[in-house]
Structure 1
Amino acid sequence: MKAITSLLRHFVVQKARFSNKEAAHCIAAGRVLVNGQKGYLNQVLLPEDTVTLDGAVIKAPQAFIYLAYYKPRGVESTLNPNIENNLAQALGLKERVFPVGRLDKESEGLMLLTNDGVFYNRISHSDNHQEKEYVVTVNKALTSEVIAQLAAGVEIMGQKTRPAQVAQVGEKAFRIVLTQGLNRQIRRMCYKLGYEVERLVRVRVVSIEVGELQPGEWREFHLEEV
């Protein structure tokens, strides 16, 4: 998912149905304003920009949506309408938003959804080492050795996972903060150490927390929260 951009001249040609020469004269004469300022030929337009021609709006700013959603167990992290129990069905929104990262069907908790491509790429790109925090319940008692191994990294799928922050919070439960998102990473790590995951809840992505959201609920958030 990428932010949609275009050059001002090309945009005026398409929107006003001018020739390239007419669009260039129009822009040079100051008839085209971008966010209230005189535009220039090869100015790159961003989704949030407002463009006017002779005072009439020909491009309104795109309204970005940022949602914190508690994905229930059993909902698939996809917008594919051909897959049962998909996100689009679960959310029931008119606006199209995209999940930032995934949670497997049997996992639950916080998902971020947006139509802002820049934000999407910044959070979802694994090289950015963005923190994601989970509370995990396994099928038998944990040991200090297992907690230490989870923190140090576990060999899965031919590679060792990055070091993680791990703290035991119950006889069979622990918190873990990851900075990568390998496929079914926590489940694979636990399985490699002889455990099965009984419940996996994501409670935080960067600085956005699931808070008091209940399964199936969502709230809007602002970029200032991140």
Structure 2
Amino acid sequence: MAIRINKYLSEVSYCSRREADKLIKEGKVTINGEIPEMGAKVEVGDQVEVEGQIVKKSTKQKNIYLAFNKPIGIVCTTDTRVEPNNIIDYIEYPTRIFPIGRLDKLSEGLIFLTNDGDIVNKILRARNNHEKEYIVSVNRFISRDFIQRMSNGVEILGSTTKKCFVQKLGPKKFKIILTQGLNRQIRRMCDSLGYRVQSLKRVRIMNIKLDLPTGKYREITKAELLELNNLLENSSKTFE
């Protein structure tokens, strides 16, 4: 059965669909020696290559699931040639893996890495409402109005953010739990209300909490993975 090239690269655990789309746009992917258009399909027996290297699923491949405490300054990209401070070179994991989602360069905290494209697509779909928790410090004293407005939704990037849980933790520190992942969302929300983020740390993704020193990673446990899969059971994999 023919499948879209970005889905193929995801299913053979080469990269996420989003990364695949980028590679296709850059002309780095070929099907039977030809550079495909976006949305082209792969048939049984086709030879797919990325930058001249044949890509196919290994029957012996083991799925890898890592939790990593990303330091400030590390970039969540798999393109090791473009960005020297990238997450892949930093971790130096012996098997090809890729991050699930992103944390911007100035942010730190929990991020997952895997070679399982299926779980990537389920977690990243915004409509699946999977929680991500952050601790944020800002440059001004936090008012009751700020908490209410952050909770009820803030207009950024031409739309209003979803309602979310926000709790004041200190004069200039708060906790926020999001179920969507717009680009630099928390920073943009704060900016729109006249606050500037000074530190931002992700401390939880769904059922998995940050419990690692900065710069360290660990395997997600079988119990954590079982609970994670239960939470993902009814999640859509459709790329939006």
TM tier relative to shorter chain: 0.7 to 0.9
2:11 paired with 1:3: yes
2:122 paired with 1:109: no
Q: Is the 8 A contact 2:138 2:199 kept in 1?
A: yes
- CA deviations over 1:13-33 (Å, ceiling 9, x no partner): x9xxxxxxxxxxxxxxxxxxx
Correspondence for 1:126: 126
Q: CA deviation at 1:225?
A: 4.0
Correspondence for 1:148: 148
Separation in structure 1 between the aligned mates of residue 227 and residue 213 of structure 2, nearest angstrom: 20
Separation in structure 2 between the aligned mates of residue 165 and residue 224 of structure 1, nearest angstrom: 26
Count the aligned residue pairs.
Answer: 176
Identity over aligned pairs, percent: 45
**Corresponding residue SS for 2:142:** coil
The equivalences for 1:75-114 within 5 A come to 75-82=74-81, 83-114=83-114
Q: CA deviation at 1:190?
A: 0.2
Correspondence for 2:213: 214
Q: CA deviation at 1:129?
A: 1.3
The equivalences for 1:27-66 within 5 A come to 60-66=59-65
**Corresponding residue SS for 2:10:** coil
Q: Is the 8 A contact 2:130 2:179 kept in 1?
A: yes
One-letter amino acid of the counterpart of residue 224, structure 1: L
One-letter amino acid of the counterpart of residue 11, structure 2: A
Q: Is the 8 A contact 1:109 1:203 kept in 2?
A: yes
Q: CA deviation at 1:4?
A: 3.4
Separation in structure 2 between the aligned mates of residue 138 and residue 158 of structure 1, nearest angstrom: 23
Q: CA deviation at 1:125?
A: 1.5
- CA deviations over 1:33-67 (Å, ceiling 9, x no partner): xxxxxxxxxxxxxx7xxxxxxxxxxx744200000
**Corresponding residue SS for 1:191:** helix
* Larger gyration radius, structure 1 or structure 2: 1
2:157 paired with 1:157: yes
- Structure 1: which 5+ runs fail to align? 15-46, 48-58
Q: Is the 8 A contact 1:208 1:225 kept in 2?
A: no
- CA deviations over 1:192-215 (Å, ceiling 9, x no partner): 00000000000001111112x111
Separation in structure 2 between the aligned mates of residue 127 and residue 98 of structure 1, nearest angstrom: 22
Separation in structure 1 between the aligned mates of residue 227 and residue 201 of structure 2, nearest angstrom: 21
**Corresponding residue SS for 1:111:** strand
Q: Is the 8 A contact 1:71 1:111 kept in 2?
A: yes
Q: Is the 8 A contact 2:88 2:98 kept in 1?
A: no
| TM-score under structure 2 length normalisation | 0.70
Q: CA deviation at 1:2?
A: 2.2
Separation in structure 2 between the aligned mates of residue 92 and residue 158 of structure 1, nearest angstrom: 39
The equivalences for 1:4-19 within 5 A come to 4=12
Q: Is the 8 A contact 1:137 1:197 kept in 2?
A: yes
Structure 1 stretches of 4+ with a deviation exceeding 4 A read: none
Correspondence for 2:226: 224
